[in-house]
């Protein structure tokens, strides 16, 4: 049973000769300070891979960390950042059986973000009373349409995770089975996780634009997800979005090599932002559109790529970002 989380940033514990030992020591140190079993501590680590990690500064800071426990979510957000430029946090209220409950989350993630749970560090907490079995089921199902649908650069990190803890302090009747209360909880959880997904994608290394790909009309949900992820992972398409170039051919190219069950002759594509919406492809072929209007739409900081497959009821959403010069600059000397 998890009761606490400890995380260090700036220096990953992976590919370290003593990485496992250090992780174990971190749990033991915090467990002793909190007077809880070390096995009840979740440990996380992020930063440079393969750099020797010293336990001393961690050990020296445990007492200060514990004494600072309280309503300090912002401090935690800032503490886990690496190349992030913005803190990522959200809180949400909902009702279960007439009882007000709360759920919140903090996250870090900017580079090495690619669908394959987990793809970042995310810590979610709630005061809703829910059994560990139901909590696990809710999170396991949620990541399929949240964090597994985010990609910044196609690289999956070695030090990633998502965790969720519930303390039951809201006082609602404990959720122990599938049903209405469980569904309400799942909706609240997804409100938190999908918001964090958008924040992570928007803050991708060097990014200037959040890309949200919405696929409708696919054969089924799985094929819709394959298409959406393929589009947001396309380096060519991401570069086109950086240049505000309505190169819809890049979208069809990504759909074509995705491996999804799609009849390309039925595919439609539109681009949308706060400046409006423009259709660029219908039935797998181009349509006349204003390049000037398209440029105006694509110069916005949030772009939606709307894809209609025209074959079924499959729906999916994926989040990504544009590919910029700064991404190369950041990762060209990330370690040195």
Residue 114: half-sphere exposure toward Cβ, Cα within 13 Å: 12
Using the 3D structure, point to which of 69, 97, 121 is the last residue of a domain: 69
Same domain for 93 and 195, yes or no, is yes
Same domain for 197 and 145, yes or no, is yes
41-65 pLDDT per residue, tens: 999 988 888 888 899 999 999 999 9
Distance between CA 213 and CA 210 in Å, rounded?
10
Neighbouring CB atoms inside 10 A of 298's CB total: 23
Same domain for 174 and 190, yes or no, is yes
* Local structure of 217: helix, strand or coil: strand
Q: What is the pLDDT of residue 113?
A: 59
Same domain for 45 and 168, yes or no, is no
What is the CATH number for 310?
3.10.20.340
Neighbouring CB atoms inside 10 A of 309's CB total: 24
- The DSSP code for 130 is B
Q: Domains in the chain: how many in total?
A: 3
Same domain for 55 and 79, yes or no, is no
Same domain for 187 and 235, yes or no, is no
Using the 3D structure, point to which of 205, 223, 250 is the last residue of a domain: 205
Residue 5 contacts residue 66 (beta carbons within 8 Å): no
Contacts of 61 (CB under 8 A, 6+ apart): none
β-pairing, 121-126 with 99-108?
antiparallel
Q: What is the pLDDT of residue 15?
A: 84
Same domain for 238 and 145, yes or no, is no
- Reply yes or no on whether 119 is catalytic: yes
Distance between CA 232 and CA 153 in Å, rounded?
9
Same domain for 111 and 190, yes or no, is yes
Q: Is residue 280 within a helix (H) or strand (E), and if so which, with residue range?
A: strand 276-282
Same domain for 79 and 158, yes or no, is yes
Same domain for 78 and 196, yes or no, is yes
Using the 3D structure, point to which of 156, 174, 205 is the last residue of a domain: 205
Domain span at residue 243 reads: 210-332
Structure tokens at 282: 């219908």
Same domain for 150 and 231, yes or no, is no
Same domain for 140 and 265, yes or no, is no
What is the CATH number for 78?
3.60.70.12
Distance between CA 199 and CA 100 in Å, rounded?
26
Q: What is the pLDDT along the chain (336 residues), one digit of tens a residue?
A: 899 999 988 888 888 888 899 999 999 999 999 999 999 999 998 888 888 889 999 999 999 999 988 877 888 888 888 778 888 999 999 999 999 999 999 998 766 556 664 447 899 999 999 999 999 999 999 999 999 999 888 777 677 789 999 999 999 999 999 999 999 999 999 999 999 999 999 988 889 999 999 999 999 999 999 999 999 999 999 999 999 999 999 999 999 999 999 999 999 999 999 999 999 999 999 999 999 999 999 999 999 999 999 999 999 999 999 999 988 888 887 666
Catalytic position from the list 46, 82, 119, 125:
119
Q: What is the pLDDT of residue 18?
A: 87
């Amino acid at each position: 049973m998890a009761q606490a989380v400890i995380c260090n940033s700036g220096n990953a514990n992976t590919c370290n000769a003593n990485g496992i030992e250090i992780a174990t020591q971190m749990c033991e140190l915090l467990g002793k300070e909190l007077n809880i079993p070390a096995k009840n501590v979740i440990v996380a680590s992020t930063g440079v891979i393969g750099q020797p990690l010293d336990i001393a500064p961690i050990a020296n800071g445990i007492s200060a960390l514990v004494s600072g426990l309280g309503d300090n979510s912002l401090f935690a957000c800032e503490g886990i950042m690496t190349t992030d430029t913005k803190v990522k946090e959200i809180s949400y209220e909902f009702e279960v059986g007439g009882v007000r409950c709360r759920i919140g989350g903090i996250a870090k993630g900017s580079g090495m973000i690619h669908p394959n749970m987990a793809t970042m560090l995310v810590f979610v907490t709630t005061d809703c009373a829910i059994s560990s079995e139901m909590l696990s089921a809710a999170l396991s199902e949620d990541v399929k349409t949240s964090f597994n649908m985010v990609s910044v650069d196609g690289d999956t990190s070695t030090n990633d995770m998502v965790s969720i803890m519930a303390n039951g302090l809201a006082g609602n009747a404990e959720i122990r089975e599938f049903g209405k209360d469980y569904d309400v909880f799942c909706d609240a959880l997804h409100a938190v996780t999908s918001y964090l997904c958008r924040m992570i994608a928007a803050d991708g290394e060097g990014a200037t634009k959040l890309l949200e790909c919405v696929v409708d009309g696919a054969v089924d949900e799985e094929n819709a997800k394959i298409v959406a992820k393929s589009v947001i992972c396309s380096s060519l398409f991401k570069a086109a979005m950086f240049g505000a170039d309505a190169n819809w051919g890049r979208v069809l190219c990504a759909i074509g090599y995705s491996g999804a069950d799609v009849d390309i002759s039925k595919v439609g594509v539109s681009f949308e932002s706060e400046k409006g919406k423009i259709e660029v492809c219908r039935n797998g072929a181009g349509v006349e559109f204003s390049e000037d209007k398209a440029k105006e739409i694509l110069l916005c900081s949030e772009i939606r790529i709307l894809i209609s497959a025209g074959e079924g009821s499959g729906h999916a959403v994926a989040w990504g970002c544009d590919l910029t010069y700064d991404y190369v600059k950041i990762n060209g000397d990330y370690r040195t």
